[in-house]
Amino acid sequence: MQDDGNLIQYPIETFDTGENAYWNTNTYKSGDNVTLNLNDDGQLYLVKTTTNFNIMNLSRSNGTLPTSGKIFYRVTLDADGIFRLYSHTLIAMEPDCRCLPGFLFINQDQKTQGCRREVSIENCGNKQEQFKFTMYLLDNIEWQDNPYSVLTTATKDECKTACMDDCSCEAAMFYDQECRKQKIPLRYGKSGITTAFVKIGEEISLRSFTYEELENATDGFKEVLGRGSFGTVFKGTLSNSQRLIAVKRLERMVDEGEKEFRTEMRAIGRTHHKNLVQLLGYCHEGLNRLLVYEYMSNGSLANFLFKSERCPGWNERVDIALNVARGILYLHEECETQIIQCDINPQNILMDEYRCAKIADFGLAKLLKPDQTRTFTAIRGTRGYVSPEWHKNLPITIKADVYSFGIVLLEIICCRKSLDMELVEDEVILVDWVCHCFDVGELGKLMTDEEVDIRGFQKMVSLALWCIQDEPSLRPSMKKVVLMMEGIIDIPTLPCSATSFLSSI
């Protein structure tokens, strides 16, 4: 601003003379006491301070401003040599909360509570995991620093790879050749000079098939793998990859079949866990409703336990039970929408080629809203595995699945069906027989011929009995079930006899 009232822009390393001027306001006749001002109307003016008179409007806009909200201004001499005024209107002074890719809000209605993983990174080193991981880059953001491991003299790429290859690493902070491996949660993020890498699970989208494609893939729906209450499952092969698939064709009346189709799509379309059967795609064509799953070569747990030439070994049975428990835990606490599976039984648990157990058939599943912990619904499930509250017209919670798991757990550890009419009268109903043996201290009668650690066997029986308590609140959560099975927390002692602690079933 010159003394003559002219605002001039001169390039650097030039003399402040007229021939060198890059731009000017041409107000050199205004005299001294001229200033550049940002007025309340959002315009830049040259103002004669002695008379408070606007000599010139430099903004060249109509001056229209929002009627509400807070406005931030910035004046910049840009790289192209043009002097510009910028404005940003913040309509509501609320934090603009967002989650990273692969994360979801803990509570959609209260976003400031933070975000949680959409996909667990548990067992990320398992080559058979059904989804892949990637590292998401966040530049110039610093977080609370609480590393469990520090690598020195590392490059940015080496830091990224080191976290990717370490299943314990969920995020890594890199600055000045130092890589600091972190665990989730990341808190207190702010602007800084650190580069952050966050490990996320990649989304798997569902493929849409035509009916003709699935008809060809199954050779005209020729080989039946199994039948359920809503449809039949056929074996098939994808022509482009020769990958084996299982195709579930819904066969109930149209309205009920449509409900079943949408329930199953909503329930597992966005779930990703090693102990859930993977949904690959669907067909929604005319009246045809089909679901395409990964093929499970070892059939159902029921066949695996009850129709094999010999019962699987004790350690393998415990692993199977733990896999089932982890799958239910994911449905209850870790996936986007809390799901009550409602039909946990050995027919709906399938075994892959590595004898890894996976939960299948979500047609009866009940999805809970974010603020919902219980629901009233018509009785559903398989006889013998249905919890008592279904029959009492009481609200249903995730504890209904815990009960069903308890029955399945007894079947797994005893390697027999919950109801076997070929046995002697006292042993026909497994729960009654287990309770009797538990109370009189004769658990050995429940064991198979193999050598089994009696203490380990007793612990599993105790856990199963806790799961099938008549009162839902007394049943442990699936989180506690998993922790007890892993030996991280102890299994409580039953407060009285097993028989008196259970209702008649």
Active site positions, annotated: 343
Single out the residue of 202, 505, 486, 232 nearest to residue 363, CA to CA: 232
Sign of the C-alpha dihedral computed for residues 333, 336, 342 and 346 taken in this order: negative
Q: Which two tokens stand for residue 340?
A: 């009550």
Residue 480, annotated ligand binder? no
97: phi then psi, degrees, rounded to nearest 5: -85, 135
Q: Which two tokens stand for residue 89?
A: 């209107």
- Label residue 91 left, alpha or beta by phi (over 0 means left) and psi (-120 to 50 means alpha): alpha
Q: Give the 3-state secondary structure of residue 456.
A: helix
H runs (alpha helix) in 232-310: 254-268, 301-306
Cα–Cα distance, 85 to 43 (Å, whole number)? 9
Chain center to CA of 11: 56
Cα–Cα distance, 341 to 363 (Å, whole number)? 9
Single-letter code of the amino acid located at 391: H
Chain center to CA of 477: 19
Own/partner contacts of 366-370, CB < 8 Å, gap of 24 or more, are 366/339, 366/340, 366/342, 366/396, 367/263, 367/266, 367/267, 367/337, 367/338, 367/339, 367/340, 368/337, 368/338, 368/339, 368/340, 370/107, 370/108, 370/109, 370/338
Q: How many residues does the chain have?
A: 505
Cα–Cα distance, 341 to 26 (Å, whole number)? 77
DSSP letter at 502 equals S
Cα–Cα distance, 25 to 8 (Å, whole number)? 7
Single out the residue of 253, 216, 220, 254 nearest to residue 238, CA to CA: 216
Single-letter code of the amino acid located at 201: G
Distances in whole angstroms, Cα of residue 51 to Cα of each of 3, 5, 28, 73, 454:
16, 14, 17, 26, 100
Q: Which residues make up each annotated binding site?
A: 248
Q: Which residues make up each annotated binding site for ATP?
A: 248
